[in-house]
Amino acid sequence: MPDNKNIDIAPETVQKRLQHIAKQIGNRPAGTEQEQQAAQYMASQMDKYGLSVETVNFPAIAWDYDHAELQVSIGDKWRQSACQPLAHSPSTPPDGIEAPVVSLGTGTECELRGKDLEGKIGFIFGTGGDEPGTLKRLCDSGLVALLFVDDRLPMPWCVQMGLAAGWIDLLTIPAASVAYTEGWEIAKMREPMARLNLQTRTWEAESQNVIGSFRAQDESLPPLVLTCHHDSVSLGEGAEDNGSGMAVILAVAEALGQGRPPRPIKMISCGWEENLSEGSRQYVASDLDRAAKTAMVINIDSVGCWMGHNIVHVVGDDSLKQWTEDKLDEADFCAEVIKKVSPYSDMFPFNLVGTPSVWFYRCNLGETRYYHHSAEDTLDKISFEVLADTANAVAHFVWHVGGAKELPFERTIPEDQRQEIVRYRDRLLNSICDWQTTALMRPEDASISDAQDNSDEENGHEHESSDDREAPDQSAP
């Protein structure tokens, strides 16, 4: 690798890549030709910079839609309301559905209790919770369709909402999202009627992981893995989420040159991330021992907005948090470093097998961005100077881990984070089927039990697995 002092990634370096991703390819839903183009682009660029490249296909469920229309009324006054089908939603009948709208709060069992739902359209504030039992309960309740409002994004435009890959089969009635401001107007109506027409298509397809590897001096050392994802939602250009991460990884690959680092370094551009990091899960599940022997993961996802706040999430020992803070300071990169487990990006499947991680992230509205998963995720939202600063900080991390035969931190995950990982695993993955499957995640009805139908708030305690599964293995080197 080049001397660390000679690594200086310029804004123009990330700009040219992101312009190609956002403008030449555009949005890249999983299983589509556009996602495949993005994967091919990542593979060709990695190959250009001297990495050994492998593309691994895995099963995916693709979707698209031809028509989405919503009208809401009180009496004879119909209001046209923009809507966006939930990813993988079934279609309505060709002529649509006309039915009364019933407000169901956040969709908990308590809020459904005692309501006549038969033949009505359910109106949900929020994303429906993080347990599949909630979605199953809504779809089995007699409702004919669902309308959701993303409570994180109080904006006048629609947001693309989706499900964990394993939950797709549970969505058995048509479902769409409406803008927050439009949802507010609907909520004010007394006994409104709605006409919903969704014409969608869902089919089995393939996504892909692109794996680029530097040739190391000592291939026996646990590898450093960098992750990003090349798919996007069906709205916008996917510039921030996650064209920004793609551009950073490619800039780092170029900056490191074609030398041989002491430690193996892998760069993985994951497919089908937008449905709970399915591509990363497939990579981990396909070889658990390989994944468990990873030294650490550096994940780059959504890092380029003009105005915002840099955050680095750490899953690992206090020594990793301190080392992260020290390296960011050396790189003159200002960020809040917090120890936090999140199942919503590509490092999480590695956390499942005990691999520590850091996630570079940037937000400008709470813990997200105001244009998240919308048509507003376009190239003009990105500061190439911010993106270059992030790329230089990531390159600094890679140089110090990839260039060291001994890790400068303890490769462990503390008990409190391990237990949080287990809880997320059991709610989001094992409640459907064994998370280690390399096939499509398909619901096993017996696993979606009544015990998981109630949220933590309703039960007054956090959900614990009722089986004998153990926490992620910490014994790997």
Name the strand (E) or helix (H) holding 286: helix 278-286
Per-residue model confidence as pLDDT tens for the chain (477 residues): 666 767 899 999 999 999 999 999 999 999 999 999 999 999 999 999 999 999 999 999 999 999 999 999 988 889 999 999 999 999 999 999 999 999 999 999 999 999 999 999 999 999 988 889 999 999 999 999 999 999 999 999 999 999 999 999 999 999 999 999 999 999 999 889 999 999 999 999 999 999 999 988 999 999 999 999 999 999 999 999 999 999 999 999 999 876 788 899 999 999 999 999 999 999 999 999 999 999 999 999 999 999 999 999 999 999 999 999 999 999 999 999 999 999 999 999 999 999 999 999 999 999 999 999 999 999 999 999 999 999 999 999 999 999 888 999 999 999 999 999 999 999 999 999 999 999 999 998 655 744 344 334 433 333 333 333 333 333 332
| Domain harbouring 15, CATH code | 3.40.630.10
- Which of the listed residues 147, 179, 203 is the one where a domain comes to its end? 203
> pTM of the full predicted structure?
0.92
Token pair for residue 277? 């990091």
* Whether residues 346 and 230 fall in one domain: yes
Helix, strand, coil % over all residues of the chain, rounded to 5: 35, 25, 45
* Whether residues 51 and 129 fall in one domain: no
SS (H, E, C) 210-274: EEEEECCCCCCCCCEEEEEECCCCCCCCCHHHHHHHHHHHHHHHHHHCCCCCCCCEEEEEECCCC
Token pair for residue 469? 């599964």
* Whether residues 194 and 251 fall in one domain: no
Q: Establish if 419 belongs to a structural domain.
A: no
Torsion over CA: 197, 274, 160, 100 (sign): positive
Domain interval for residue 214 = 4-62+204-402
CA distance 374 to 378: 9
User: Which residues neighbour 327 within 8 Å (Cβ) at sequence distance 6 or greater?
Assistant: 393, 396, 397, 400
Q: Which of the 8 DSSP states describes residue 92? A: P
* Whether residues 130 and 190 fall in one domain: yes
